[in-house]
Structure 1
Amino acid sequence: MQLTILGCYAATPRTLTNPTSQVLEMRNRLFLIDCGEGTQVQLRKNKIKFSKINHVFISHLHGDHLYGLIGTISTFSLLGRTTDLHIYGPKGIKELILLQLKLTESWTTYSLFFHELESKESEVIFEDQKVIVRTIPLDHRVYTNGYLFQEKPAERKLNIEAAEEYGIHVAYYQKIKNGSDITLDDGRVIENEKLTFDPIQPMSYAFCSDTAYNESVLPIIKDVDVLYHESTFLDSEAALARKTLHSTAKEAATIALKANAKHLILGHYSTRYDGIEPFKTEAAEVFPNVLLGDDGLSFEF
Structure 2
Amino acid sequence: MNLTILGCYAATPRTFTNPTSQVLEINNRLFLIDCGEGTQVQLRKNKVKFSAINHIFISHLHGDHFYGLIGLISTFNLLNRNNPLTVYGPVGVKEIIKLQLKLSNSWPQYELNFVELSSNQSEIIFEDDRVIVKTIPLKHRIYTNGFLFNEKPKERKLNVAAVQEYEIETCYYQNIKNGRDITLDDGRIISNELLTFDPPAPKSYAFCSDTVYNEEIVNVIKNVDVLYHESTFLDSEEVLAEKTMHSTAKQAAKIAKLANAKQLVLGHYSTRYTSIDLFKEEAQSVFEEILLSDDGVTFEF
User: What range is the shorter-chain TM-score in?
Assistant: over 0.9
Pairing 1:57-68 to 2, within 5 Å after superposition? 57-68=57-68
* Residue 272 (structure 1) shift: 1.0
Aligned to 2:98: 98
Aligned to 2:6: 6
Aligned to 1:39: 39
Asked if residue 280 in structure 1 is aligned to residue 242 in structure 2, the reply is no
Pairing 1:189-228 to 2, within 5 Å after superposition? 189-228=189-228
* Residue 41 (structure 1) shift: 0.1
Aligned to 2:248: 248
Aligned identity (percent) is 72
Aligned to 2:123: 123
In 1, the alpha carbon distance for the partners of 2:210 and 2:173 equals: 47
Question: Which secondary structure state, in structure 1, belongs to the residue aligned with residue 54 of structure 2?
Answer: strand
Which structure 2 segments of 5+ residues have no match?
A: none
What TM-score, normalized to structure 1? 0.99
In structure 1, give the amino acid aligned to 2:278.
Answer: P
Pairing 1:261-300 to 2, within 5 Å after superposition? 261-300=261-300
In 1, the alpha carbon distance for the partners of 2:37 and 2:169 equals: 57
CA root-mean-square deviation: 0.5
In 1, the alpha carbon distance for the partners of 2:164 and 2:91 equals: 56
In 1, the alpha carbon distance for the partners of 2:73 and 2:272 equals: 32
Asked if residue 109 in structure 1 is aligned to residue 109 in structure 2, the reply is yes
Aligned to 1:152: 152
Aligned to 2:231: 231
Question: Which secondary structure state, in structure 1, belongs to the residue aligned with residue 207 of structure 2?
Answer: strand
In 1, the alpha carbon distance for the partners of 2:209 and 2:55 equals: 18
In 2, the alpha carbon distance for the partners of 1:68 and 1:226 equals: 26
Question: Which secondary structure state, in structure 2, belongs to the residue aligned with residue 238 of structure 1?
Answer: helix
Pairing 1:19-58 to 2, within 5 Å after superposition? 19-58=19-58
In structure 2, give the amino acid aligned to 1:291.
Answer: L
Superposed CA deviations along residues 147-182 of structure 1, whole A, max 9, x for unmatched, are 000100000001111111111111110000000011
In 2, the alpha carbon distance for the partners of 1:161 and 1:251 equals: 51
In 2, the alpha carbon distance for the partners of 1:116 and 1:41 equals: 26
In 1, the alpha carbon distance for the partners of 2:275 and 2:167 equals: 64
* Residue 28 (structure 1) shift: 1.0
* Residue 27 (structure 1) shift: 1.0
In structure 2, give the amino acid aligned to 1:276.
Answer: I
Asked if residue 179 in structure 1 is aligned to residue 179 in structure 2, the reply is yes
Aligned to 2:77: 77
* Residue 185 (structure 1) shift: 1.0
* Residue 226 (structure 1) shift: 0.3
Superposed CA deviations along residues 167-204 of structure 1, whole A, max 9, x for unmatched, are 11111100000000111111111000000011011100
* Residue 274 (structure 1) shift: 1.4
Question: Which secondary structure state, in structure 2, belongs to the residue aligned with residue 125 of structure 1?
Answer: strand
Superposed CA deviations along residues 79-127 of structure 1, whole A, max 9, x for unmatched, are 1101100100001100000000000000102010100001000000000
In structure 1, give the amino acid aligned to 2:279.
Answer: F
Question: Which secondary structure state, in structure 1, belongs to the residue aligned with residue 86 of structure 2?
Answer: strand
* Residue 5 (structure 1) shift: 0.2
In 2, the alpha carbon distance for the partners of 1:6 and 1:58 equals: 14
In 1, the alpha carbon distance for the partners of 2:70 and 2:275 equals: 31
Superposed CA deviations along residues 212-252 of structure 1, whole A, max 9, x for unmatched, are 00011101100000000000000000000000100000000
What TM-score, normalized to structure 2? 0.99
* Residue 207 (structure 1) shift: 0.1
In 1, the alpha carbon distance for the partners of 2:2 and 2:120 equals: 29
Question: Which secondary structure state, in structure 2, belongs to the residue aligned with residue 264 of structure 1?
Answer: strand
In structure 2, give the amino acid aligned to 1:97.
Answer: I
Which structure 1 segments of 5+ residues have no match?
A: none
* Residue 275 (structure 1) shift: 1.4
In 2, the alpha carbon distance for the partners of 1:193 and 1:106 equals: 57
